[in-house]
Amino acid sequence: EDQVTQSPEALRLQEGESSSLNCSYTVSGLRGLFWYRQDPGKGPEFLFTLYSAGEEKEKERLKATLTKKESFLHITAPKPEDSATYLCAVKGGGSNYKLTFGKGTLLTVNP
């Protein structure tokens, strides 16, 4: 069964203090790894898709990278508006189209 583990569970940063979030996964035949941002009471907002080891994607202050066993979401010089829960998810191969999520990392950026 596909498994996703995210660490840390919670992270507090000062504005401008860069850091990384980790997503470790176990999947049979990775079809895609996805990063989402979720604000309280809202639906997850899609950020990135990564398909193969070595791939990188960037958007503003966020950069996602992928290896064969884990993915990192790097946050450079974060701002308070980056505060949210960041979710990682994987889709495995075969006929199973299930999208499996980790429990997320709650990021708080203080001004």
Partner 1 sequence: DSGVTQTPKHLITATGQRVTLRCSPRSGDLSVYWYQQSLDQGLQFLIQYYNGEERAKGNILERFSAQQFPDLHSELNLSSLELGDSALYFCASSESAGSEAFFGQGTRLTVV
Per CB under 8 A, which of residues 20..59 are in contact with partner 1? 31-32, 34, 36, 41-46, 49, 51
Alpha-carbon distance 80 to 61, whole Å?
Answer: 12
Interface with partner 1, residue 98, by CB under 8 A:
yes
Alpha-carbon distance 93 to 82, whole Å?
Answer: 32
Interface with partner 1, residue 87, by CB under 8 A:
yes
Q: Where is 99: in which H helix or E strand?
A: strand 99-101
Residues 6+ positions from 46 with CB-CB distance below 8 Å = 34, 36
| Closer by beta carbon to partner 1, 15 or else 51 | 51
Shortest Å, Cβ 29 to partner 1: 11
Picking from 15, 16, 19, the residue whose alpha carbon sits closest to that of residue 7 is 19
| Closer by beta carbon to partner 1, 43 or else 54 | 43
| Closer by beta carbon to partner 1, 5 or else 20 | 5
User: Given the rule CB under 8 A, which residues bind partner 1?
Assistant: 31-32, 34, 36, 41-46, 49, 51, 87, 89, 91, 95-104
